[in-house]
Structure 1
Amino acid sequence: MGTDRHDGLAGLVARLDAGSRSAATFPELPALADMRIQWEQLHADSRLRITLQQAPAEGGPLNSAVLVHRMLTLMQETSPGYLRHFVAYADALSWLEQMQPSATPAKRRR
């Protein structure tokens, strides 16, 4: 009794593999999109909360850390939705910077 190469688990894997190659893209699930939005909001809120808790104790009025903290506080009071998008954008830029293979600081001109 000979076995056909399309029988059993090997046949199932072959059919699934052939089917996945014919599909151009996978369909986007609506529940996944909602979950992604909720995760982005939760992550941005968490990053913002951490940032606002790390207020510089001593710094002059032109200290960059003090200015950023003041800017984030004012944004939170005026437009929390915009601030959430801003934090997500800054977080994405930070992630992209970390993904660069040779992230060397630029040489300063003297």
Structure 2
Amino acid sequence: MRDERTGTGLAGLVRQLEAGSVSLQHYPQLPALQPMRDAWQQLHAESRLRIALEQTPAEGGPLNSTVLVHRMLDAMQALSPEYLRHFIAYADTLAWLEQRPQPTPAATAATRKRKPKPR
């Protein structure tokens, strides 16, 4: 006889996996990976900072926006390297979001569902 609550074969396995995953987050955090994430974030921030500072214009005036950004990055690195790392991660996220293709108005209008008319 077969137990109807658990099932057998593939259906039973799927039910067991679903029951076990209900309590888990969609992407569980693995504490063992945190040191790797921190090291990668620090290396990435240092690399981005080095690239940005190499591109400093030689003959920019005191109010040149690029020169001001470089002075700000230098000051931030001297005062709070941890804050600089968070700032660079934030700026990278914004740059990534800016590069994503934006939906056109025609595409969004076509995908909208029509609301049912009140009766």
Range of TM-score over shorter length: 0.5 to 0.7
Residues of 1 paired with 2:28 and 2:86: CA distance?
26
Q: Which amino acid aligns with 1:65?
A: T
Deviations 1:32-61 (A, max 9, x none): 222222211111111111111111112111
TM-score normalised by structure 2 residue count: 0.64
Q: Which amino acid aligns with 1:94?
A: A
Question: What is aligned with 1:55?
Answer: 56
TM-score normalised by structure 1 residue count: 0.68
Question: What is aligned with 1:107?
Answer: none
SS in 1 for 2:45: helix
CA distance 1:57–1:20, shift in 2 (3 Å): farther
SS in 1 for 2:59: coil
CA distance 1:99–1:21, shift in 2 (3 Å): farther
Correspondence for 1:21 among 13, 18, 22:
18
- Percent of aligned pairs sharing the same letter: 58
The gaps in structure 2 that reach 5 residues or longer are 1-7, 105-119
Residues of 2 paired with 1:53 and 1:18: CA distance?
57
Residues of 2 paired with 1:79 and 1:34: CA distance?
20
Mapping of residues 1-110 of structure 1, within 5 Å: 6=9, 11=10, 15=13, 17-22=14-19, 23-24=21-22, 25=25, 26-102=27-103
CA RMSD of the aligned region, Å? 2.5
Residues of 2 paired with 1:27 and 1:19: CA distance?
18
The gaps in structure 1 that reach 5 residues or longer are 104-110
Residues of 1 paired with 2:16 and 2:102: CA distance?
35
Residues of 1 paired with 2:18 and 2:50: CA distance?
44
Residues of 2 paired with 1:102 and 1:58: CA distance?
41
Count of equivalent residues: 93
SS in 2 for 1:55: coil
Residues of 2 paired with 1:29 and 1:79: CA distance?
28
